[in-house]
Amino acid sequence: MGDLEQDAGWGFETRAVHAGQEPDAASGAVVTPITLSTTFAHEGVGNHKGFEYSRSGNPTRAALETCVASLEGARHGFAFASGLAAEDNVLRVLHQGDRILLGNDAYGGTFRLISKVWEPLGFPWSAMDLTDIDGLAASWPADTKMVWLETPTNPLLTCVDIEAIAALAHDRGALVVVDNTFATPYLQQPLALGADIVVHSATKYLGGHSDVVGGFVALNDDTLADRIRFTQNAAGAIPAPFDCYLVLRGVKTLAIRMERHCANARAIVELLLGHPAVDRVLYPQLPDHPGHAAAAKQMRDFGGMVSFTLHETVARSGEASALEVVRHTELFTLAESLGAVESLIEHPGLMTHASVAGSPLQVPAALVRLSVGIESGADLVADLAQALDHLR
Ligand code: PLP
């Protein structure tokens, strides 16, 4: 499955609830059934209802693929067992010797996949500052065949101009992949801005409830889609039907969740900007933030992720201060991952981004990352304020 008709004319929220999710023809069930069957009856050889074997295609997965493709404004959508499985399948469109150009603060797992799995197979990579388009044009490696960008990035929330990168990359014969995990299709639609492929960790905002690991690929090009469809089936990193159901259920409320995530993030940013222990606040809405102009141009709102660094004092290093704060929040749970209803706090240097220590992607030791949830904003502000006050 995966050749998808868009539900032209419906708004985002309507497509989130209805695209690919018509009442079940057999029973009238309003909620997409979880089809566990691994195999599907043929009426005769070569004559079936669109499904043969569940690795190749499954009705619950097809509903999810139709829905999320529609939200990304894509003709094709493919669901995977994790975000990294989705990324791995996208990288398989390259040929040996093709260079991957990566933003210099990409997610650590993406960096690990490219540098530890793909590079030894003969795929060179370079990490570069994607916010500096002129610098990028001047130092562009000639063998680049794919630009891999996140915007906003994890964990520094740097934003890059998708339209400008796509124009440059296409001029130089490279594909542009956008990891849209942090923004979600509600806040940003990379394909409409010129990107070739969108990837997601569906584990985050798409699922939205910290109860499913999943990945997604969305794209328009029919030839590339045929290759992704082939590797989805041939390599087999598909999600289970129950996991597809959970992501589909999450996606129905994506728009209203994102609105609350953004509003709560704004309240947290205001607290951080006024707190003496805080050194830098990283949030794309702030006018001095790297890529603020790009974010303002291409995003509907600025997202639910907020990062900040702590001042070094005579009593404590910046890292010790960061560890003190993450130890004292009560509502913000100390945990990896992001994008779900509950608020999380973490120390990227020692947790999510430990794998990039010593590399060009190393993150500041005094950095704290927040995934701001959808709880009452006032409660979240009070919780973070009391944790910061331990530094006084
Ligand atoms: N992309 C981004 C931006 C992420 O934050 C993550 C995970 O944290 C991934 C991709 C990988 O996704 P998964 O953990 O679902 O494999």
Rounded to whole angstroms, the Cα distance separating 198 from 372 reads 24
Rounded to whole angstroms, the Cα distance separating 91 from 82 reads 14
**Is the pLDDT reported for residue 202 higher than 80?**
yes
Across 158-282, where does the E strand assignment appear? 175-179, 197-201, 215-219, 278-282
CA of 113 to the centre of ligand 1 (A): 11
Which pLDDT belongs to residue 231?
98
**Total residues belonging to the chain:** 392
Which pLDDT belongs to residue 356?
78
Average of per-residue pLDDT across 187-205: 98
Which residues are designated catalytic? Answer: 55, 107, 179, 204
CA of 87 to the centre of ligand 1 (A): 9
- The predicted-structure confidence for 297-308, as pLDDT tens digits, reads as follows 999 999 999 999
> Residue 270's pLDDT band (boundaries 50, 70, 90)?
very high
Across 153-231, where does the E strand assignment appear? 175-179, 197-201, 215-219
Q: Which atom of ligand 1 is nearest to the CA of 202?
A: 15
CATH 3.30.420.340 fits 255-391, yes or no: no
Q: Whose CA is nearest to atom 11 of ligand 1?
A: 83
**Is the pLDDT reported for residue 114 higher than 80?**
yes
CA of 267 to the centre of ligand 1 (A): 26
Rounded to whole angstroms, the Cα distance separating 281 from 269 reads 7
Average of per-residue pLDDT across 110-136: 96
Task: For ligand 1, say whether the CB of 201 is within 6 Å of any of its atoms.
Answer: yes
Rounded to whole angstroms, the Cα distance separating 311 from 319 reads 9
> Residue 134's pLDDT band (boundaries 50, 70, 90)?
very high
Strands 278-282 and 215-219: unpaired
**Main-chain dihedrals φ then ψ at residue 159, nearest 5 degrees:** -115, 140
Q: Which atom of ligand 1 is nearest to the CA of 215?
A: 15
Average of per-residue pLDDT across 364-388: 97
> Residue 7's pLDDT band (boundaries 50, 70, 90)?
low
Q: To test the ligand 1 pocket, which listed residue (158, 177, 204) has its Cβ within 8 A of the most ligand atoms?
A: 204
Determine the residue type at 28. G
Helix (H, G, I), strand (E, B) or coil at 355: helix
> Residue 8's pLDDT band (boundaries 50, 70, 90)?
low
Q: Of 230, 243, 231, whose CA–CA distance to 60 is shortest? A: 243
Higher pLDDT, 31 or 290: 31
Which pLDDT belongs to residue 108?
86
CA of 156 to the centre of ligand 1 (A): 15
The CA-CA-CA angle for residues 159, 161, 162, to 5°, reads 110
**Main-chain dihedrals φ then ψ at residue 54, nearest 5 degrees:** -70, -20
Which pLDDT belongs to residue 1?
34
C-alpha dihedral (211, 369, 272, 317), degrees to nearest 10? 140
Task: For ligand 1, say whether the CB of 190 is within 6 Å of any of its atoms.
Answer: no
Q: Of 70, 90, 3, 84, whose CA–CA distance to 254 is shortest? A: 70
Q: To test the ligand 1 pocket, which listed residue (68, 82, 84) has its Cβ within 8 A of the most ligand atoms?
A: 84
Class level of CATH domain 4-251 = alpha beta
- The pTM for the full model equals 0.95
Q: Of 228, 304, 326, whose CA–CA distance to 259 is shortest? A: 304
CB count in 10 Å sphere of residue 138: 8
Rounded to whole angstroms, the Cα distance separating 317 from 321 reads 6
- The predicted-structure confidence for 32-70, as pLDDT tens digits, reads as follows 999 999 999 999 998 999 999 999 999 999 999 999 999
CA of 86 to the centre of ligand 1 (A): 10
CA of 198 to the centre of ligand 1 (A): 13
Q: Of 310, 307, 314, whose CA–CA distance to 323 is shortest? A: 310
Q: Which of 151-160, 219-228, 353-362, 373-382 has the lowest mean pLDDT?
A: 353-362
Task: For ligand 1, say whether the CB of 215 is within 6 Å of any of its atoms.
Answer: yes
Sheet with strand 367-371: strands edge to edge: 278-282, 305-310, 367-371, 344-346, 333-334
Q: To test the ligand 1 pocket, which listed residue (90, 203, 246, 247) has its Cβ within 8 A of the most ligand atoms?
A: 203
Per cent of the chain over pLDDT 70 is 98
Burial class from Cβ neighbours inside 10 Å (0-12, 13-18, 19+) for residue 184 reads buried
Average of per-residue pLDDT across 272-297: 96
Mean pLDDT of the chain: 95
Q: Whose CA is nearest to atom 6 of ligand 1?
A: 201
> Residue 294's pLDDT band (boundaries 50, 70, 90)?
very high
Task: For ligand 1, say whether the CB of 59 is within 6 Å of any of its atoms.
Answer: no
Q: To test the ligand 1 pocket, which listed residue (89, 149, 181, 217) has its Cβ within 8 A of the most ligand atoms?
A: 181
**Main-chain dihedrals φ then ψ at residue 175, nearest 5 degrees:** -80, 155
CA of 201 to the centre of ligand 1 (A): 5
Domain ranges for the chain: 4-251, 255-391
Q: Of 57, 10, 56, 63, whose CA–CA distance to 32 is shortest? A: 63
Q: Which atom of ligand 1 is nearest to the CA of 203?
A: 15
**Main-chain dihedrals φ then ψ at residue 372, nearest 5 degrees:** -80, 125
